[in-house]
Amino acid sequence: MAEQHTPRSLIVTLYGAYVRERAGSLAVAELIRLLGAVGVDAPSVRSSVSRLKRRGLLVAQRTAGGAAGYALSDDARQLLDDGDRRIYGHPAPELSDGWVLAVFSVPEAERHKRHLLRSRLARLGFGTAAPGVWIAPARFYEETRHTLRRLQLDPYVDLFRGEHLGFTATAEAVGRWWDLAAVAKQHEEFLDAHEPVLRAWESRTGAPADEAYRDYLLALDSWRRLPYADPGLPEELLPSGWPGARSAAVFAGLHERLRDAGAQFVEPDDPAAA
């Protein structure tokens, strides 16, 4: 099945990969050019930017040259900074690192927040240990704290750190806490789509900026979801033949080969437009 890349997701990926390091904003015309290179038309860019603005991730800000443009909000920068540790990090998790537990209780009158809380914890990579008790590797604590505070969900949650003491073996328990078969399938889909791309680039001697940008942005847009779906468990807790390390190596290869080459396509000809 072909990968799905939504315009909104691609815009966030673009800002995270290339635009965040710039001062100021990115002109709307540049956004349209850069998203057009990965098959997104201008009306879709404009409508997606409007949605991201309503969500508080982008703010209207004219460029240094006076053109209409958009910059990242402070919340969006925090979100992307937190994401960097997962997307570009190469943790070597140990069972001794322990776990972080999120224990929550939401009044019935605010049950819509209960749904938001569950969905956000799932998107952070938490598994379900019991009703109202979610679990993740302890290294997720800081990002979880930032996220729950940003969404004003922290009054409903207590966070704890600890270790699993039984009675079920931890390797068996994680199979209840997470749907590891579904996570493995996501890794395999990433590999199916992007491993051939890496192999093709490895056989080339040059890296045209537009092609490098296109292939890198699409790979990053796919990859950046995986470190959230996959909690990054210690090897001894994973099923045999786990594809996570292989997909991480493919993304790392594409990042090393294409990211900087693609930056040459992102930079506008006129510096005043940035």
Write down the pLDDT at residue 270.
43
- Among 81-90, 226-235, 249-258, where is mean pLDDT lowest? 81-90
Give residue-wise pLDDT tens across range 101-143: 999 888 887 888 888 888 889 988 899 998 889 999 998 898 8
Pairing of strands 157-162, 99-104: antiparallel
Distance (Å, whole) CA 37 – CA 210: 8
* Average pLDDT, integer, range 226-252: 91
Write down the pLDDT at residue 23.
63
For residue 273, pLDDT beyond 70: no
* Average pLDDT, integer, range 54-82: 88
Residue 167 is encoded by which pair of tokens? 């009675």
Residue 123 is encoded by which pair of tokens? 């998107």
What pLDDT band is residue 274 in, cutting at 50, 70 and 90? Answer: very low
* Average pLDDT, integer, range 33-42: 94
What pLDDT band is residue 51 in, cutting at 50, 70 and 90? Answer: very high
What SS3 state is found at 135?
Answer: strand
Q: 61 pairs with which residues across the strands?
A: none
* Average pLDDT, integer, range 18-39: 88
Give residue-wise pLDDT tens across range 165-224: 888 899 999 999 999 999 999 999 999 999 999 999 999 888 899 999 999 999 999 999
Write down the pLDDT at residue 1.
44
Q: Rounded mean pLDDT of the chain?
A: 88
Long-range contacts of 61-67 (CB under 8 A, 24+ apart): 61/24, 61/25, 62/25, 63/24, 63/25, 63/26, 63/27, 63/272, 63/273, 63/274, 64/24, 64/272, 64/274, 65/27, 65/270, 65/272, 65/273, 65/274, 67/27, 67/28, 67/29, 67/273
What SS3 state is found at 222?
Answer: helix
For residue 62, pLDDT beyond 90: no
